[in-house]
Amino acid sequence: MTRVIFLDIDGVMNTLSTPVDAARGLTSLLLPRCVAALNQVVRATGAAVVVTSTWRLTMPLAELRAHFAAAGCVAEILDITPDLDAPRREREIAAWLAAQPEPPRAWCILDDDRDMGALADRLVSTDSHRGLGDHELPRVLALLTG
């Protein structure tokens, strides 16, 4: 299987102060500079995205895909993690991994939440006031290519 990025949205693809544009919805919360950083990772590694954000609970996968595409994201939005009602997102990621016929070649977690329990060594935490950018890329690339 391919390389996988488990992707949160709020605080990763936007910042705490990003206003939502009602007409564009989630697309407006995928900031161009954060999308550019994600695209850079995807182009370098071929990684696909599995959405972990609670946004996955409010819209179907096809709609998530449409928003990412509209925002210029080149990543394949492969899937979403299961909703286990878990306060701990790493349990949902672990469940997704356990359900795959074969494990990803490499994977990492992008989230502004710093608590990933047993999966902490795969987490690249973003600053929720800044979102994904150059600062995080070396570690993301290392986890996805190592």
Spatial neighbors of 138 by CB under 8 A, at least 6 apart, are none
DSSP 16: T
* CB 82, min distance to Mg ion, A: 18
79 binds Mg ion (CB under 5 A): no
Determine the Cα–Cα distance for residues 130 and 93; give it in Å rounded to an integer: 24
* Phi, psi for 144 (deg, rounded to 5): -85, -15
* CB 115, min distance to Mg ion, A: 12
* CB 102, min distance to Mg ion, A: 29
Determine the Cα–Cα distance for residues 55 and 68; give it in Å rounded to an integer: 12
* CB 10, min distance to Mg ion, A: 4
Amino acid at 118: A
Residue from 10, 79, 90, 136 touching Mg ion (CB under 5 A): that is 10
Binding residues for Mg ion, total number by CB under 5 A: 4
Residue from 11, 14, 80, 124 touching Mg ion (CB under 5 A): that is 11
Nearest Cα neighbor of 75 from 45, 99, 97 is 45
Which residue, 23 or 57, is less far from Mg ion as judged by CB?
57
110-139 residues near Mg ion, rule: CB under 5 A: 112
Is residue 92 within 8 Å of residue 119, measured between CB atoms?
no
* CB 62, min distance to Mg ion, A: 22
Which residue, 10 or 90, is less far from Mg ion as judged by CB?
10
For Mg ion, the binding residues (CB under 5 A) are: 8, 10-11, 112
